[in-house]
Structure 1
Amino acid sequence: MPSAPLPRAVFAMDPVHLPPLFPAPLLARLRQTAEIDPGLVVRDFADPVTAPALAAAEVLITGWGCPRLDPDALAAAPRLRTVLHAAGSVRPLVGDALWERGIAVSSAVTGNALPVAEYTLAMILLAGKDAFAHRDRFRATHARPSPADTAAAGNLGRRIGIIGASRVGRRLLELLRPFDFEVLLHDPYVDTAEAHALGAEPLSLEELLRRSDIVSLNAPDLPETYRMLDRARLALIRDGGVLINTARGALVDPDALTDELVSGRLHAVLDVTEPEPLPAASPLYRLPNVFLTPHIAGSLGNELERLGRIVVAELERLATGLPLAHEVRLADLARVA
């Protein structure tokens, strides 16, 4: 009995991402499950060169740099039934036309959540040890700190406030379990029982800000979360408290945050800002109480292969008639990134 033909798939992303997402062994595994030309990567759905491949495509493997799947793009792919996104949020990619067509969507966002949670854990531990200030002091004095210099440092019993039990937030909560922290959580979609199961004490946002030593912002970027940390709420964080933002800059009032940091009252670890990048004249580049990184918490380097593995596993599930393990539904987009 002849075997069923492989589904036809097409890559759609910035080609620079293809090699790290799908290194040779993983690409070979993908090609055992789908008919795909690795040399053809769509950047423009109106490009006549890619028109024949898109017209036959049943699966679109997307990534960073993929154009939005608007009605014109979908018209170029009449046989398309599944989009496998080898990146995080699908919000910028999909629209009403895709859902109306009944096209299934899967995202590797869970794979991208892990390195963000790992970065955040590392920053929590370093901030608790006051490592950044000690580094600067050591550079200047070449002397070991005195007991007075380290009296306020240490991670025993630190109160860690997690804003958002998102995918990143949940991974972070898992990673925090082995440590001697008091973990607090604010998420309007998580009830008391679930918060306790996650290892955290549920609190209102205001109470979490008042009680936390270190606040980690892990909420999705939604209209409801825009500027959720405004001037009044930032003022609730205790003097010397630390804000870690690996979510999106839009969740924090940038002027209010800058004022708090310039005053020296708060410390911050910022992997995301608004705007991004900051203007060259921003004081945040130079403040000793700010640790600023260029949006590196998510998958990069060899971590990108984790996202490719998720896509290939989803393609294998499709080929064997199994449901997608990481399907994104329209209803999900109301409360996730």
Structure 2
Amino acid sequence: MCVTSKMKEKVILDPYGRRIANIFYPEDLERLNSLADVIWSKDEPMPQEEVEAVREDVVAIITGYWRYGDVSRFPRLRAILEVSGGFPSPKDLDYAYCFSHNIRVLSCAPAFGPAVAEMGLGLAIAAARQIVWTDAAFRRGEENWSHTEFGGTFTLYDKQVGFIGFGGLARSLKQLLAPFRCPIQVYDPWLTDAYLRAQGVKPVDLETLLRTSRFIFVLAVPTASNRALLNRERLGLIPPDSVLILLSRAHLVDFDALTEMLSEGRFKGAIDVYPQEPLPPDHPVRKVPNVILSSHRAGAIAEALLNIGRIVVNDLEAILRGLTPQEMQVAQPEYIRLRGL
């Protein structure tokens, strides 16, 4: 549908925290400008006086985070499209007003799902097959050439997998695991058992998942209720031949307890997220031999970032045409209430 310049609605592009060139392919930026009268469109934060000058006419705001005060100041606003990877905090954005005034709040999180899932698969295989540790041993001249002593390596095929959380990331990972014939069990208190079974996974309680899974993927979003969900007691349930892959946020784990248990060789691990980033150089987890460490790289890849611009423009086009957005994650009242924070 062609949108003439006379018909164009005003849209703020203020992605501060991301660089425009990093999240938009040139053709997607061109599409955006053909769809709307794009205001600001710079990497620097939009000054409040500039926002004030256009607030009464703006129908959508593409932003790194909500920093514009009272959302009711924008009488024509129809959508907030965030490009940081998570919904704005309820401390900053009045969701009740947004829901009651039909203002869509959308997150770009789905742009990262495939890339993070791919990294999770890679970490799981690398830990089970000891790829990283074998490489390090080879470089030290301590490699194992034996065909009778295998050092506890194992394959992913047919192993019990456990997902803590079954959102978009988990659904992306489930597709990648299909060729490995892994039965998947899930703990997600936000979803009904009927829904999980319909997705082809088995709902279980958290303790069962930890006791019986060979690969445990931590995939849930951080919420007010799941801080240190994997505390010392629950981490103690993980069998010694299992691998814990921490992908979503360190918020869900008692990280000190996790570090201690990994250092004791209680189980293997692969970690991409930490309670403090960058991680201090003297943090003890850096010296633990049976864990793979990644510096929050799972979604830090150009292709994933450029997916942001694509889904933002696709959903903005739908909104401007009075259609339902299909690609970004839409904030639901129940989700925001349960998430807290």
Same fold, judged at TM 0.5 (above): yes
| 2:94 corresponds to 1:97 | yes
Distance (whole Å) between structure 2 residues aligned to residue 151 and residue 247 of structure 1: 27
Report the secondary structure of 1:149's partner residue: coil
- CA offsets 1:95-121 (integer angstroms, 9 cap, x no match): 453531522212222222221111111
**Alignment match, 1:177:** 178
Q: Is contact 1:239-1:266 (8 Å) kept?
A: yes
Amino acid of the residue matched to residue 23 of structure 1? Y
Q: Percent identity?
A: 27
Q: In angstroms, what is the RMSD of aligned CA positions?
A: 2.5
**Alignment match, 1:29:** 31
| 2:86 corresponds to 1:85 | no
Deviates more, 1:51-60 or 1:220-229: 51-60
5 Å matches for 1:45-124? Answer: 46=48, 48-63=49-64, 66-71=65-70, 75=73, 77-92=74-89, 95=92, 97-101=94-98, 102=101, 103-124=103-124
Deviates more, 1:233-242 or 1:92-101: 92-101
- CA offsets 1:22-75 (integer angstroms, 9 cap, x no match): 1221111111101114644562553x3454244532210113xx343432x763
**Alignment match, 1:329:** 332
Q: Is contact 1:91-1:333 (8 Å) kept?
A: no
**Alignment match, 2:206:** 205
Distance (whole Å) between structure 2 residues aligned to residue 191 and residue 50 of structure 1: 42
Amino acid of the residue matched to residue 80 of structure 1? L
**Alignment match, 1:265:** 266
Deviates more, 1:193-202 or 1:303-312: 193-202
Distance (whole Å) between structure 1 residues aligned to residue 146 and residue 317 of structure 2: 56
Distance 1:90 1:42, change over 3 A: farther
Deviates more, 1:49-58 or 1:319-328: 49-58
Amino acid of the residue matched to residue 293 of structure 1? S
Distance 1:250 1:151, change over 3 A: closer
Distance (whole Å) between structure 1 residues aligned to residue 193 and residue 177 of structure 2: 19
Deviates more, 1:117-126 or 1:87-96: 87-96
Q: Is contact 1:11-1:42 (8 Å) kept?
A: no
Distance 1:126 1:40, change over 3 A: closer
- CA offsets 1:6-27 (integer angstroms, 9 cap, x no match): 1101112226521121122111
Distance (whole Å) between structure 2 residues aligned to residue 295 and residue 269 of structure 1: 11
Amino acid of the residue matched to residue 138 of structure 2? F
**Alignment match, 1:227:** 228
Structure 2 residue ranges without an equivalent (≥5): none
Distance (whole Å) between structure 2 residues aligned to residue 60 and residue 79 of structure 1: 11
Distance (whole Å) between structure 2 residues aligned to residue 19 and residue 74 of structure 1: 31
> TM-score, normalising length from structure 2?
0.87
**Alignment match, 1:137:** 137
Distance 1:229 1:181, change over 3 A: same
**Alignment match, 1:305:** 306
- CA offsets 1:184-238 (integer angstroms, 9 cap, x no match): 2212234444333333232211011111112100112112211110000000001
Amino acid of the residue matched to residue 293 of structure 2? L
- Alpha-carbon offset, residue 264 of structure 1: 1.9
Distance 1:7 1:287, change over 3 A: same
Query: What count of residue pairs does the alignment treat as equivalent?
Result: 331
Q: Is contact 2:19-2:43 (8 Å) kept?
A: no
Q: Is contact 1:217-1:246 (8 Å) kept?
A: yes
Deviates more, 1:311-320 or 1:139-148: 139-148
